[in-house]
Amino acid sequence: MGTIILRYGELALKGGNRIAFVRRLRRNVRVALKSEGLSAEVRSVGQRVYVTTDTVESALDPLSRVFGLVSLSPIVQVEADMDAIAAECVRQAREIGLNAERSFRVRARRTDKTFPHISPQIDRLAGEAIVRETSARVDLSKGADVTIGVEVTHEGAMVFGRSIPAPGGLPIGVEGKVVVLLSGGIDSPVAAWMMMKRGCGIIPLHFGQNEVETAKALDNARALERYAYGWRIRPEVVSHDETIAPTLDALRRIGEERWSCVFCKRALLTRAAALADELGANAIVLGDSLGQVASQTLANMELISYGISKPILRPLIGMDKTEIVAIARRIGTFDISTREAESCPFLPSRPITRGRMDKLLEIMERLRQEEGIET
């Protein structure tokens, strides 16, 4: 059996609510391991979570995708004795391949204050042993090639030579549910992932225009499932044409086709708000990035949001395309989103980019009176 130490970040700041957050985190960790057919014991000690399993290496990948964790390390437990600690540090340094061409540092943490050496002394003594055996260079900065960690507790000492990053954030399920408008493009899957990172269960809502874009949206939903431990993703697909066609036809009849993008987005949000009410979700999520397209100018976002009954969250609002693409590549949705695409058939030749509220209200009233359409 081996042990993996799991580290969480902001959960430690939750005060009296921390117990509930960590309980949810442990639950999601168990789900992650079970989904891979792995058995393990998951327990908390202080501000750490530990996984004990006989399949350590297989467990690292799913655990690295559990929201709420910031990093994890396979550990070796030794006696709380300085010679034993130094010997294990040397063994792990050799296993990692540390040599005279590489640099390292030792970072110790002592929670057992009765241990005779304070943390800087543990760093120095273990570091001296590693230098003697490997001739590696000491680099106390974050730029060191290798960091070897030591934690000394009342139960003994733990040594680790690997620290695997995890996504951080909050455990899925602690912040309720949101409806995410999920297209076949790059942005909306990233917005969904970011809301999952903040502890939300997501309900993807796709407005299908054609088989190509719907297939991409559903594949992106499946890609997001790799991070959804503790939540089951069930995409909803409705007809884009049936949702917006009556409104867009009416806009053409009254000569306001340039407003199609604004009223299209409003129709989608109205349908999303109805689904949120039906499924008990608290908000709607969009993949908007300020100024990216006509419907995402600040002026148009005000009009699009007007009168919608649910809060509208835009987690990408201050990000540029380069930043969004970097996240999409990292989470595995970019290649799906950039497959063959089909353009929107409803896009007008000159869409309104900075609409006015008084004009929106005027058109809404005309649609109601002349066409019998509520928007």
Q: How confident is the model at residue 347 (pLDDT cuts 50, 70, 90)?
A: confident
Q: What's the pLDDT tens digit per position in 271-294? A: 999 999 999 999 999 999 999 888
**Cα(317)–Cα(287) distance, rounded to whole angstroms?**
8
Q: Which domains does the chain have, with CATH numbers?
A: 2-165 (3.30.2130.30), 177-371 (3.40.50.620)
Please tell me the predicted confidence (pLDDT) of residue 128: 97
The mean of the pLDDT values for the chain is 94
Q: What are the CA-CA distances from residue 111 to residues 5, 86, 277 (Å)?
A: 15, 18, 48
Please tell me the predicted confidence (pLDDT) of residue 114: 94
Q: What is the DSSP string of 25-49?
A: HHHHHHHHHHHTT---EEEEETTEE
Q: What's the pLDDT tens digit per position in 334-346? A: 999 999 887 777 7
**Cα(375)–Cα(369) distance, rounded to whole angstroms?**
12
- Going by C-alpha positions, the residue among 161, 352, 162, 197 that lies closest to residue 263 is 352
- In our burial notation (b when 16+ CB lie closer than 10 A, e otherwise), range 232-250 reads ebebbeeebeebbebbbeb
- Going by C-alpha positions, the residue among 85, 89, 76 that lies closest to residue 132 is 89
**Cα(55)–Cα(359) distance, rounded to whole angstroms?**
63
Q: What are the CA-CA distances from residue 211 to residues 41, 63, 115, 182, 216 (Å)?
A: 44, 34, 65, 14, 9
Q: What's the pLDDT tens digit per position in 152-162? A: 998 899 999 99
Please tell me the predicted confidence (pLDDT) of residue 294: 82
Determine the average pLDDT of the residues in 170-196: 97
DSSP symbol at 285: E
Collapsing DSSP states into helix, strand and coil, what is residue 314? coil
Q: What's the pLDDT tens digit per position in 18-28? A: 899 999 999 99
